[in-house]
Structure 1
Amino acid sequence: MAAPIGRRSSYASQVLRPRGSRIVVAIFFGILLGCILAALYPRGLFYSGSHFQSRRLSKSNLQIGSTSCESTEIVNILKLHIQDFSNTNEELKKQIKDLKEKLQAVEQTNSQAEQQVVGVGEPQKVGPFGTVKGIRTNPTIIPNESVNPRLAKILEKVTIKNELIVSLANSKVKPMLEVWVSSIKKLGIHNYLVVALDDGIVDFCKENRVQFYTRDPDEDIDSVGKTGGNHEVSGLKFIILKEFLQMGYSVLLSDVDIVYIQNPFEHIYRDSDVESMSDGHDSMTAYGYTDVFDDPAMGWARYVHTMRIWVYNSGFFYLRPTLAAIELLDRVADRLSHEPYAWDQAVFNEELFFPSYPGYIGLHVSKRTMDRYLFMNSKVLFKEVRKDDDLKKLKPVIVHVNYNPDKLLRMKAVVVFYINGKQDAFDLFPDGSD
């Protein structure tokens, strides 16, 4: 019986497959056959045991002869590889350590940034007219004692309420340091520390039971510290003080040409990043005033009002451990390292007071000028105070002999006048220098 037309056409379509399909089937069967032969004859269809063994023995004999020649070279190559791996391992350890330190710094910065946002970023309701007060006190940083564990142990014993007086000294200023230390001890101040920059100061501190600290060796800083004059040594403080602030301590930086008459910590406000004594010689110059500049060529607009203030003294200032205070130290230290003829006090004030402008981001730091009669410079003392019977009765906190070159003699006169009570102690001195 003839098959139905539909079924035949279906069968024909299966039989008459494309040529490509037949090739695929042939390849499949070829691979299958190869696998079967490989399983039955793992050493090949034409394997000859004796022939293969003889070839292997002859090859081994050749290798034995060459092995002794090549072994030393191979060992040397392996040693080189091992050394390379060792060096790479040390380099990786250093990189891991650096990454950990950077990660720690980033984490700390993030935490500090969060604190700053909490402190100054929260929306505030505005009170009635005349009652609105902005935020003046920046939050302190998270202390990090790992920056200098040795110094951290010293500060734990020395500081009171996490603050202290710090002074830098080398043997060139030893006579003034003696007066400085004596005045501090007479007041019963215990939270002070001398950063000894050479062996002579170390010996002096040991002999006189003065609390001191020596930094780890640093070629650049050591050379300046041991042989530098007042200005050179003064510039080091911006590098050294950073570690104190990083560990969460407030620092009252003091030059050694200062006599202490009262405990300064009883007269500090602690409401700003920086509190500093002024070089101003009266209330206007110390606290600021409006100065009018006259340019007649401008006619009607010839008068222009300007704001003036005498500089802060970089030899006596108080820093709270805030980001802004640390940034101030960073900026001044960086500029002094790149501007060889820069004066640290000028740079200190430029960073404090210059505003942001195109191409420059100013420092957002809060600052307070200390009372000019309590934290007195020697120009105020010799030009004004000693000549006024009422002002002579005032008792300053400190006197800084910064305007006069005969520093040691005037420091001793300050002691005689304010501590020993001799009213004629200043009579022999001119206002300024001869």
Structure 2
Amino acid sequence: MAVVGRREKAQSLCKSRVVVAITIGILLGCVFALCFPSGFLSISNPAPILNRRFAKSIAQVGSSLCESSERINLLKSEFVATSEKNAELKKLVRELTEKIRLAEQRKDQAEKQVLVLGDQKKAGPFGTVKGLLTNPSVLPDESVNPRLAKILEKVAVNRELIVALANSNVKEMLEVWFANINRVGISNYLVVALDDEIARFCELKNVPVYKRDPNKVIDSVARTGGNHAVSGLKFRVLREFLQLGYSVLLSDVDIVYLQNPFNYLYRDSDVESMTDGHNNMTAYGYNDVFDEPGMGWARYAHTMRIWVYNSGFFYIRPTIPSIELLDRVANRLSKERAWDQAVFNEELFFPSHPGYDGLHASRRTMDFYLFMNSKVLFKTVRKDAKLSKLKPVIVHVNYHPDKYPRMLAIMDFYVNGKQDALKPFPDGSEW
């Protein structure tokens, strides 16, 4: 019995040891599984682990760089958008400032109209009485030319714009003309194309253009006419602009624009024109004494003289006297062999007399140093150190037939700063 008991005890102890060994083995296996999840072989070659960690780090850096690049691009686009908005706001401020100025100007004119056209009043004290220069604008009539009305609605600013008539004979000068207008930053201008070639040319250059409806009489002159013939057409063409209620700065194409002319207009008269005069007397008028010795005591006769307005550059408001002026000039040119500029001035200045009713239109002469003709420039300004430093608004090459090279020289002098650009040209023309 004792032997059997010892044997059972020994077997029981052996089983206990086996269970403990198995338990310890399981525990060690769990520990190794936690410490070395990739197994014992990966310990001897840690490179795959390091490579994976390095690749993971590179991927994180690359992702960060991509995010930074996208952020930079986003910031750039936001900066560009902000700059554009800032430019638009500046432009809007300028436009609003100009509108306020014009509104104040028109308010002042309207108040004067009320004073003159209202109830009859007694004259004020000595030196305080002033007449009215500014006639009221006509009521716009879009039925006159609906197609032109739509164009003007898009092009005009404050119901005013620059208008030039052109055919293919002046294509070279026209390109210089609108290039300088664009450079100065003028947007409210329009070319009235007198033939298909000029219409296509303007469209190609993104220049605002208006091609009139066919008219046998006008189109015949437009296609084949020279400068004077084409110049005579403008009085007929401009009438529709005025009827539609727009003020027009009529411009020949032999003009170099150096500043925006709308910033220098008074707008207080029916017609505001540049002059062919070359000094204060000839531009603004003077008392010219005519001497006739045979009259003895009455030998001296005083005459009032002024050099003519230039019909190639004038600002005309949409008033009844303005439209009457255009009608008078166009009517006379259709019946007479006359120069349009001469007729334009005769109708503006001749007074009423027996058999003739004068035109009651108000007029203003532009500053001849700002709105400069080519005689003033080549005969006086370029030779004077002080005057040559002044920057005119426009220069009109009206006194010289070699227009295109002089226009280029004027650009070189005033725009490109070439001080000797005007020197090769004579004061006058060489026929």
Query: TM-score when scaled to structure 1?
Result: 0.72
User: Alignment partner for residue 196 of structure 1, among 181, 187, 193?
Assistant: 193
Q: Which residue of 2 aligns with 1:180?
A: 177
Amino acid at match of 2:419: Q
Matches within 5 A, 1:123-272: 123-272=120-269
Q: Deviations over 1:121-163 (max 9, x none)?
A: 6413322211111111111111101000000000000000000
Q: Aligned partners of 1:185 and 1:173: how far apart in 2?
A: 18
Q: Aligned partners of 1:122 and 1:262: how far apart in 2?
A: 43
Matches within 5 A, 1:82-93: none
User: Alignment partner for residue 410 of structure 1, among 397, 406, 410?
Assistant: 406
SS in 1 for 2:315: strand
Is residue 2:356 matched to residue 1:356?
no
| Unaligned residue ranges in structure 2 (runs of 5+) | 1-112
SS in 2 for 1:176: helix
Q: Which residue of 2 aligns with 1:12?
A: none
When residues 358 and 121 of structure 1 are mapped into structure 2, their CA distance, relative to the original with a 3 A threshold, is: farther
Q: Aligned partners of 1:270 and 1:117: how far apart in 2?
A: 18
Aligned CA RMSD, in angstroms, stands at: 1.4
Q: CA deviation at 1:119?
A: 5.5
- Is residue 278–residue 369 contact of structure 1 (8 Å, CA) maintained in 2? yes
Q: Which residue of 2 aligns with 1:53?
A: none
State the identity %. 73
Matches within 5 A, 1:377-388: 377-388=373-384
Q: Aligned partners of 1:329 and 1:121: how far apart in 2?
A: 29
Q: Which residue of 1 aligns with 2:277?
A: 280
- Is residue 120–residue 135 contact of structure 1 (8 Å, CA) maintained in 2? no
User: Alignment partner for residue 331 of structure 2, among 329, 334, 354?
Assistant: 334
User: Alignment partner for residue 386 of structure 2, among 367, 390, 409?
Assistant: 390
Q: CA deviation at 1:171?
A: 0.3
- Is residue 119–residue 139 contact of structure 1 (8 Å, CA) maintained in 2? no
| Unaligned residue ranges in structure 1 (runs of 5+) | 1-115
Q: Aligned partners of 1:390 and 1:189: how far apart in 2?
A: 28
SS in 2 for 1:426: coil
Amino acid at match of 1:254: S
Amino acid at match of 2:398: N
Amino acid at match of 2:385: D
Q: Deviations over 1:382-405 (max 9, x none)?
A: 000000000001010000000001
SS in 2 for 1:392: helix
Q: Which residue of 1 aligns with 2:321?
A: 324
Q: Aligned partners of 1:298 and 1:124: how far apart in 2?
A: 46
SS in 2 for 1:368: strand
Query: TM-score when scaled to structure 2?
Result: 0.73
Q: CA deviation at 1:281?
A: 1.1
Q: Aligned partners of 1:175 and 1:431: how far apart in 2?
A: 23
- Is residue 116–residue 131 contact of structure 2 (8 Å, CA) maintained in 1? no
Q: Which residue of 1 aligns with 2:427?
A: 431
Q: Deviations over 1:280-299 (max 9, x none)?
A: 01110000000001111111
SS in 1 for 2:391: coil
Q: Aligned partners of 1:133 and 1:432: how far apart in 2?
A: 42
Q: Aligned partners of 1:121 and 1:226: how far apart in 2?
A: 49
SS in 2 for 1:129: coil
Q: Deviations over 1:254-282 (max 9, x none)?
A: 00000000000000000000000000011
Q: Deviations over 1:75-131 (max 9, x none)?
A: xxxxxxxxxxxxxxxxxxxxxxxxxxxxxxxxxxxxxxxxx9995364133222111
Q: Aligned partners of 1:292 and 1:119: how far apart in 2?
A: 36
Q: Which residue of 1 aligns with 2:369?
A: 373
Q: Aligned partners of 1:280 and 1:142: how far apart in 2?
A: 35
Q: Aligned partners of 1:227 and 1:119: how far apart in 2?
A: 48
Amino acid at match of 2:423: D
Q: Which residue of 1 aligns with 2:58?
A: none
Give aligned pairs, total: 319
Moved beyond 4 Å, runs of 4+ = 116-119
Q: CA deviation at 1:203?
A: 1.3
Q: Aligned partners of 2:428 and 2:264: how far apart in 1?
A: 28
